[in-house]
Amino acid sequence: MASQQHLDKMQLRQNYRNVWHTDLTHTIQNDPPYCCLALWCGPCVSYMLRKRALYNDMTRYVCCAGYMPCSGRCGESRCPEFCLATEVFLCFGNSVASTRFMLQDEFNIQTTQCDNCIIGFMVCLQQVACIFSIVAMIVGSDELSEASQILSCLSDMVYCSVCACMQTQHKIEMDKRDGKFGPQPVMSVPAVQQMSRLDQQYPPTAGYPAPAYGQPNYPPPGGYPPAGYPPAGYPPAGYPPAGYPSAGYQR
């Protein structure tokens, strides 16, 4: 049942529409210091990233994020910090992959074809190195044994570098989640507005442009209506005319 659920999650993960903020080939370019830190101190970085992925709430911690058969059976609820430290040191690869799956499921992130090729190359190279080591041990050839050692060393270098890039990718994605870079949120503090007072002749033009040159200010400073309005002699004498309105007119 659990295996079927994991297969369903993997199938669902292929249909995600979002992508990582940066792919594996550009992580060292976007954050070189953190990539170097992840290369030389991988388990420590994995510990920090998992804790950060859980929003620093270790009560939510489950071994390997619930993606392995041992998840939930290691006493995580009693001592989650110790269990996480054990996971990142003894199962480093699983810890990196589990954090990756957590972020993908939370933000609906798919893995690009380029990232899939890099990760697939890393896994295949490890398998080939393991097969060469077994064959060299069985055959007993010195040349084949030396070639298997070179291949194993190359496999370890690729594994460490890809894991460092993956962890840097996770860190950049959580920086994006926590708003540490990018555009400011839409909900921001409104600008200071000026309120009108009773001793002012008319409200201030808060938020409106000042009148252009040559245009009068309305209402006029002397009050409204201006002096001299209406003009003298208005309405004219004899207005309205006699007999207006006509008899019988009703509104």
pLDDT digits (tens, 9 = 90+) for 25-40: 999 999 999 999 999 9
| Residue pLDDT, tens place only, 192-213 | 555 544 444 444 444 444 545 4
Q: How confident is the model at residue 167 (pLDDT cuts 50, 70, 90)?
A: very high
pTM: 0.67
The percent of residues in the chain predicted with pLDDT above 90, rounded, is: 41
Q: Interior CA angle at 18 toward 33 and 55, to 5°?
A: 55
Question: How far is Cα 135 from Cα 85, in angstroms, rounded to an integer?
Answer: 35
| Residue pLDDT, tens place only, 53-77 | 999 999 999 998 888 877 878 888 8
Nearest to 104 by CA among 11, 5, 4, 2: 11
Residues 6+ apart with CB under 8 A from 70: 63, 64
Q: How confident is the model at residue 225 (pLDDT cuts 50, 70, 90)?
A: low
User: How is residue 250 written in tokens?
Assistant: 């009703």
21 close to 174: Cβ distance less than 8 angstroms: no
Q: E strands along 23-163, which residues?
A: 109-110
Res 95: pLDDT: 93
Report whether pLDDT(228) > 70: no
**3 state DSSP class of 145:** helix
27 close to 167: Cβ distance less than 8 angstroms: no
